[in-house]
Amino acid sequence: MRSIIVGNWKMNPTQKEVRPLAEGVAKGLSDQATFHDVVICPPFVFLSAVGEVCHGGTLQLGAQNVCSEPNGAYTGEISTEMLVDAGCEYVIIGHSERRQLMGESNSDVNLKMAACFKYGLCPIVCVGETLSERQDKKTLNVIRKQLQSLSGLKECSSNCIVAYEPIWAIGTGTVATPDQAQEVHHFIRSEWGSITGSHAVKEMRIIYGGSVKPGNIDEIMEMRDIDGVLVGGASLDVSDFLRIIHYKEKVNG
């Protein structure tokens, strides 16, 4: 199974910084062979510019969000068909910042996933717990509920990526220990297999997001059930992101 490294630019950078940033990453991929899929998810207004850099190369294009409706009077939204037309292959859905700041529910995420499957987009669906939920030992129950809300989507096992992003570790500089992350990733794989009843779940990629940096990527990727990372701030620095992309290869036992 190929690992996947996803850069989530969030509401960054500026117009003049976009192309040098994307081109720097693309050049770093061509200069050194990588055994991973590498995706950049820029803001919507930069999809075209980044897409031009990605076109025909090893760098792939993703989006940060999508609407569950195919078209219509939804001011400020963007559809799956629009993303496909823009060259996107992936889209992040259910990110904790969308859930917390924009009020997105598990049901919203379910509808968005269904829309992605209809148009051939690979959804990167985010799950994770707050600090208080972890302290109250509710982590696995929270994750289970988020996963169960997606049941009924038969394509999930082989056509999506699950990103575990503990909310308490996003942008805080605090990262889950490798053992903490591995515990939840193993639970996700086991739980998702129970929900879907599919053997294909063994091939589903589960990635970690939460203050991923050059200094912790190696130990994160040593964990057996971690198949990649969702990178925030460090993806805005070419050298940092390339160091993450070219982490030492983990050995599968």
Q: What is the pLDDT of residue 231?
A: 97
Distance separating alpha carbons of residues 7 and 9, to the nearest angstrom:
6
Q: E-assigned strands of the chain?
A: 4-8, 37-41, 59-63, 90-93, 122-127, 161-164, 205-209, 228-231
Sequence-distant (≥ 6) Cβ neighbours of residue 32 within 8 angstroms: 242, 246
> Do residues 141 and 177 make contact, with C-beta atoms less than 8 angstroms apart?
no
Domain ranges for the chain, please list them: 4-245
46, HSE (Cβ side, Cα atoms, 13 Å):
26
Q: Tell me whether residue 36 is one of the annotated catalytic residues.
A: no
Share of the chain above pLDDT 90, in %: 75
Q: Tell me whether residue 133 is one of the annotated catalytic residues.
A: no
Bridge partners of 149, per DSSP, are none
Q: What is the pLDDT of residue 36?
A: 87
Catalytic residue (one of 95, 97, 104, 185): 95
- Provide the mean pLDDT of the chain: 90
Catalytic residue (one of 36, 97, 165, 246): 165
> Do residues 214 and 194 make contact, with C-beta atoms less than 8 angstroms apart?
no
Q: What is the pLDDT of residue 253?
A: 38
Q: What is the pLDDT of residue 251?
A: 41
Classify the C-alpha dihedral 217-223-228-232 as positive or negative: negative
| pLDDT tens-digit map of 15-38 | 999 999 999 999 998 766 567 899
- Confirm or reject CATH 3.30.450.70 for domain 4-245, answering yes or no: no
Q: What is the pLDDT of residue 235?
A: 98
Q: Which residue in this structure is represented by tokens 């220990």?
A: 177
Q: What is the pLDDT of residue 204?
A: 86
Q: What is the pLDDT of residue 158?
A: 64
Residue ranges of the chain with pLDDT lower than 50?
250-253
Closest CA to 5 of 62, 46, 49: 62
Q: What is the pLDDT of residue 31?
A: 63
